[in-house]
Structure 1
Amino acid sequence: MTSEDLDQNAPLAAVAASADVLRHPEAGEHLLTAVELERAARFRHESGRVDFTAAHILVRLCAARLLGVPAAGLTLAQNCPDCGKGDHGKPYLPDHPGVEVSLSHTKGVVAAAAGHQPVGVDVELSTRGGSLLPVAQRVLAPAELRLVEAHPEPDRAFLRLWVRKESLIKLGRTSLDTLAAVDLSALPLDVPPGTPLRSRYQDLHLLDWADEDLGGAAVSAVSTVAPRVVALTPPTAR
C-alpha cells in the first residue's frame, strides 16, 4: 500500500488519455445527458468531441469510485453563477449534493477529480506552439513572473503555475480576473515525472504531477484535504 492509498476519505484525482477513457468497460455516450450530448455535437472537430466526452465520463468514474456505485447511476449537471444557464459552468452531481467534482480536457488528455470536499483539477500539454509569456505577464504575480523568466524552460514553468491557478479557479478560490493576486512563488516549479509532488498553499493541499506518457501533460489537483491519484483506465500500450 502506498501513501496514495492511506486516506480513504481523500478526494480522488485521475488523468488519462481520452482514448483510454472511452475504452473503459463502463464508458459510453449513454452516460451523458441530453445537454452534454448537444454540447459535444457543437465541436467542429471530432477530436474536440472525443476529449469533451472522455472528460465527462472520467469525472463520473471518479465519483463512482468515491461513492462505490456504478457510473451509469450518476447524473452530471453544470451551472453558471453569472448567467444561470445549465450548459456550462461548475459541474455538480444533482443527486449527490455532498460530493464535489471537477474536470478538465486538452488535446487527447483528460483529468477529473471527485471528493467530499471542494476540489479542482486541471491538465494542460506542454507540447504546444507559441510562447506563453505574453499570457504570463497578465496572470502571474510579480514574484512568479520573475521565477518564470529566470527558468531554463520558461514556458514549462509557466504551465505549472497555470494548471495550479486553473485548479484554484475551479475550487472557487480565485477567478480569471484575479489570478495575478494569487502568489504561488513559494511552491516548487519543477515537478519531475513519476511520483506526484505535494505542497501547501494557505489551507489548501496541492498535488502536481507530470505525465510524459501523455504528451508531457502537466496536471494539478487541489483541495482542503490532500487528494490521492487513482488509476481508472489501463495505460495505452507502448
Structure 2
Amino acid sequence: MTSFSGMTSDAIATVATSADVLRHPEAGEHLLTAVEKERAARFRHESGRVDFVAAHVLVRLCAARLLGVPAAALVLEQQCPDCGKGDHGKPYLSDRPGISVSLSHTKGVVAAAAGHRPIGVDVERTDRGGTLLDVAPRVLAAEELRQVKAHTDPARAFLRLWVRKEALIKIGRTTLDGLAAVDLSGLPLDLPGGRPLLGRFEGLHLLDWVDEPHGAAVAAVCELPPRVVELASL
C-alpha cells in the first residue's frame, strides 16, 4: 500500500493484517488497559482475540503518529452512548480530548484512524461482498440500489457503499436503522486506477480504497481530508 499523499495531515488512516500490526516494534498487549485485556479474554477463538488486540494497538499507533508521541503514552477508552458502559462503544483518548480515533476489524485485517476532528473508519474483507449483498434492499437508498444492480460486480459495488456507510456510523452521522436514508449515489462506485478516492458528502471528506494485498475494502470519513499511511511509517 502506498501513501495517498506525501504531505502532513491532520487526519490519517491505515489498514494492515493483524499479524503485521502485532509485529510492530511498539506493539504488544502491554499497551492495553485492564478493561481491554478482559474483553480480549472473552473471545472464544484465538483469531478473534488477535484481531481485537491488533485493532486496539493499531489505533494507538495512528494516534501516536498524529501526535508525535510514543504509543505507550496514550490511554484508550470506550463508552457506549446508549447504555453508558465503558467496555464497548466509541473509542476515545481519555487524556487527549481534542483527538478523535476510530478502529475496525474483520477476519485477519484491521484498520484505524486518528484526526484532529471527528473521524470514522471501517474495513471489510472483499470476499464478504456476496454475503453482505443480501441486506442491500434494507440499507441502500433507491438510487444506490439501482446503481449496485447495474454494476458489473454488484457484490463489490455494494461493499464499497457498505464501508462508507459504516464509517459514517462511526462518526455519528447515521445509525444502522438509518442507513437507507443516507444516499451516497453521487459518489463513484469504482476507484480510478485502484488508487484511493477522496470525495465529499455533506461537508465531510470521505476517503476510500481497496487494499488488494490484504483483500480489504476500507473507508475513512472526517471533517478534514484524511490520508492513507503505511503501517511501516507508524
Percent of paired sites with the same residue: 73
Give the secondary structure class of the aligned counterpart of 2:131.
Answer: coil
* Residue 5 (structure 1) aligns with: 6
1:194 CA drift (Å): 4.2
Aligned-residue offset at 1:207: 0.7
Counterpart residue number, 1:79: 79
Structure 2: 5+ residue stretches without partners: none
Q: Which runs of 5+ in 1 are unaligned?
A: none
CA distance in 1, matches of 2:96, 2:145: 40
Report the CA distance between 1:202 and its aligned residue. 1.6
Could you tell me which residue of structure 1 aligns to residue 92 of structure 2? 92
TM-score between both structures, scaled by the size of structure 2: 0.95
Q: Counterpart of 1:109?
A: 109
Q: Secondary structure at the match of 1:127?
A: helix
Report the AA paired with residue 161 of structure 1.
L
Q: Once superposed, what is the RMSD of the aligned Cα atoms?
A: 1.5
What SS class does the counterpart of residue 137 from structure 1 fall into?
Answer: helix
Moved runs in structure 1, 4+ residues, more than 6 A? none
Matched residue, 2:181: 181
After TM superposition, the structure 1 stretch with the greater mean CA deviation from structure 2, 107-116 or 195-204, is 195-204
CA distance 1:194–1:129, shift in 2 (3 Å)? closer
Higher helix share: 2
Q: Superposed, which structure 2 residues align to 1:40-51 within 5 Å?
A: 40-51=40-51
| Structure 2 counterpart SS, 1:131 | helix
Kindly provide the amino acid, as one letter, of the partner of residue 150 in structure 1.
A
Q: What's the counterpart of residue 221 of structure 1? A: 220
Matched ranges for 1:27-38 at <5 A: 27-38=27-38
What code does the residue aligned with 1:231 have? Answer: E
* Alignment-mate amino acid for residue 5 of structure 2: E
Q: Measure the CA separation in 1 of the matches of 2:146 and 2:130.
A: 20
Contact 1:192 1:210 in 2 (8 A): no
Comparing 120-129 and 139-148, the one that deviates more: 120-129
Q: CA deviation at 1:126?
A: 1.4
Provide the residue aligned with 1:121 in structure 2. 121
2:75 maps to amino acid: T
Q: Alpha-carbon deviations, 1:53-75, whole Å to 9, x = none?
A: 00000000000001110001111
Contact 1:193–1:209 (8 Å) recurs in 2? no
My pick for the range that moved more, 191-200 or 85-94, is: 191-200
Shift of 1:130: 5.0
2:127 partner SS: coil
